[in-house]
């Protein structure tokens, strides 16, 4: 098989890249280890920033976001006894959208189907070869046949466990592991809030998010290694009530049937450069952020916006300049989001140290109480322009 761009991974980065390339007249083939049903159902991120929505709309993928997504003006920031609303639209003119990654993924799969995009699901033994010359990928297809895919370019969109990242020799890696994880639940109950609540509490951080008018998504800071099945539903709701301030100024957290429990370890990871020869990395293949700033999915979309433009210029106009600039261009935003995600994480997660707690509370009061402080958070959360 031969194509212009071999895309490894059918997550949001890989599928959006193949969609943008097709719109620019560039051919691609996508390889994915999991099944189509599995990638469409994986529960992950929930917030799209302003420029992600703009990009998806411009790519013809905005209809369901507009119809079924929920536009939010901002978030609540709280600590015991206080809840403050930060209005991003008022502060920056930009909003965010609650629209689950599962929905983005379904829209992308439908769009790729409509285009007859070649996607090989349930492949194995994916290996990258000859990256500096005539690259190709070998793999075993779903029927067990060995296959070879030749391409001018390989796009490594295979997330944090795929083989692309390791195919960049002598890459520099920057990493921070956090001493806590997020325990996430999905519940069949109407959200108890109109906008997300990010809560600092001496017991640990809690977040109230949502997926729809009848589905809530909530998170608790827990120690690393926590087994999600070791927490009963009652214990989860009790702890969420405590940390989110049930009873505070008459506010109530409505519990409901829990349909999913998972624990997500937290780390920051940046690999530089994001290119080696004819291999380009995008999304989680090149960087991981802790989820507190809701940046992981948005950063994958921003990478792909740059990479799509670069590869279209390369193939359609024989212009290599954007491709050569891609890694440096992408890394500017990667480091901005890496800083913001680290900053939100360290401001909101407790360590048991009283000095840290006082610094966090002081910072929270300043962010919530000062227009300058609030604008800094709002600008980063609602997202910088794609070309930042
Ligand atoms: P992925 O979505 O990981 O896609 C990579 C794809 O490559 C996958 O489909 C994978 O199966 C495939 N693949 C892997 N190996 C191979 C191979 N050898 N060959 C072919 N294909 C391969 N972000 C937030 O902002 N908020 C959240 O709440 C949040 N929750 C998360 C929960 C979990 C459990 C995880 C893992 C991530 C979460 N994230 C969250 C991060 C966000 O989901 C990611 O940043 C986003 O999915 C990145 O998209 P991607 O396409 O780069 O990578
Ligand atoms: C969600 C996840 C996040 O990481 C975040 O900061 C906000 C919301 C969510 O899954 O809804």
pLDDT (0 to 100) of residue 233: 98
**Global pTM?**
0.96
- Is position 295 annotated as part of the catalytic site? yes
Ligand 2 centroid to 229 CA: how many Å?
A: 21
How many other CB atoms are there within 10 angstroms of residue 32's CB atom? Answer: 23
Ligand 2 centroid to 98 CA: how many Å?
A: 9
DSSP 249-276: GG--PPP--EEEEEEEEEEEEEEE-SEE
Catalytic residue of the set 12, 191, 290, 291: 291
Chain mean pLDDT for the chain: 97
What are the pLDDT digits (tens) for 187-200? 999 999 999 999 99
What's the pLDDT band for 386 if we cut at 50, 70, 90?
confident
pLDDT (0 to 100) of residue 43: 87
pLDDT (0 to 100) of residue 51: 93
CB-ligand 1 contact for 9 (6 Å cutoff): yes
pLDDT (0 to 100) of residue 200: 98
d(CA 58, CA 201): 40
Q: Give every CB contact of residue 46 below 8 A, 6+ residues apart in sequence.
A: 98, 99, 100, 101, 209, 210, 211, 217, 294
Catalytic residue of the set 12, 19, 50, 72: 72
CB-ligand 1 contact for 135 (6 Å cutoff): no
User: Which residue's CA is minimally distant from atom 46 of ligand 1?
Assistant: 297
Phi, psi of 358 (to 5 degrees): -65, -40
DSSP 172: E
Q: Cβ(215)–Cβ(187) under 8 Å?
A: yes
Q: Is the pLDDT of residue 276 over 90?
A: yes
Catalytic residue of the set 76, 198, 219, 326: 198
Looking from the CA of residue 344, the nearest atom of ligand 2 is 6
- Is position 291 annotated as part of the catalytic site? yes
Nearest-ligand number for the alpha carbon of 286: 1
Ligand 1 centroid to 13 CA: how many Å?
A: 9
User: Which residue's CA is minimally distant from atom 38 of ligand 1?
Assistant: 44
pLDDT (0 to 100) of residue 387: 75
C-alpha triplet 307, 310, 315: angle, nearest 5°: 120
């Amino acid at each position: 098989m031969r194509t212009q761009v071999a895309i490894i991974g059918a997550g949001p980065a890989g599928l959006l890249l193949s969609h943008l390339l097709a719109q620019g007249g560039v051919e691609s083939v996508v390889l994915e280890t999991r099944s189509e049903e599995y990638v469409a159902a994986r529960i992950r991120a929930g917030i799209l920033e302003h420029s992600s929505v703009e990009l998806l709309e411009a790519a013809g993928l905005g209809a369901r976001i507009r119809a079924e997504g929920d536009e939010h003006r901002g978030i609540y920031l709280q600590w015991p006894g206080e809840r403050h609303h930060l209005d991003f639209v008022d502060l920056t003119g930009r909003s965010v959208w609650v629209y689950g990654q599962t929905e983005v993924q379904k829209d992308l799969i439908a769009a790729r189907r409509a285009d007859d995009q070649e996607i090989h699901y349930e492949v194995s033994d994916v290996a990258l070869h000859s990256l500096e010359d005539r690259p190709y990928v070998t793999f075993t297809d779903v029927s067990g046949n060995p296959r070879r895919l030749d391409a001018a370019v390989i796009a490594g969109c295979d997330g944090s466990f795929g083989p692309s990242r390791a195919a960049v020799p002598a890459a520099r890696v920057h990493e921070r592991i956090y001493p806590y994880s997020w325990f996430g639940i999905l519940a069949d109950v109407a959200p108890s809030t109109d906008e997300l609540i990010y809560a600092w509490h001496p017991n640990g951080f809690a977040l109230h998010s949502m997926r729809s008018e009848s589905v809530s998504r909530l998170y608790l800071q827990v120690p690393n290694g926590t087994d999600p099945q070791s927490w009963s539903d009652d214990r989860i709701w009790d702890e969420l009530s405590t940390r989110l301030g049930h009873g505070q100024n008459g506010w109530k957290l409505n519990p409901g049937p829990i349909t999913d429990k998972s624990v997500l370890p937290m780390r920051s990871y940046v690999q530089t450069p994001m290119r080696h020869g004819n291999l380009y990395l995008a999304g989680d293949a090149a960087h991981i952020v802790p989820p507190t700033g809701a940046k992981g999915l948005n950063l994958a979309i921003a990478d792909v916006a740059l990479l799509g433009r670069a590869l279209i210029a390369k193939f359609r106009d024989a212009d290599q300049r954007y491709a050569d600039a891609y890694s440096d261009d992408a890394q500017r935003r990667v480091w901005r989001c890496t800083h913001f995600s680290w900053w939100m994480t360290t401001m909101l997660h407790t360590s048991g140290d009283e000095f840290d707690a006082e610094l966090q509370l002081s910072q929270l009061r300043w962010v919530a109480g000062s227009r300058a402080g609030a604008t800094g958070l709002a600008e980063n959360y609602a997202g910088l322009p794609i070309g930042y």
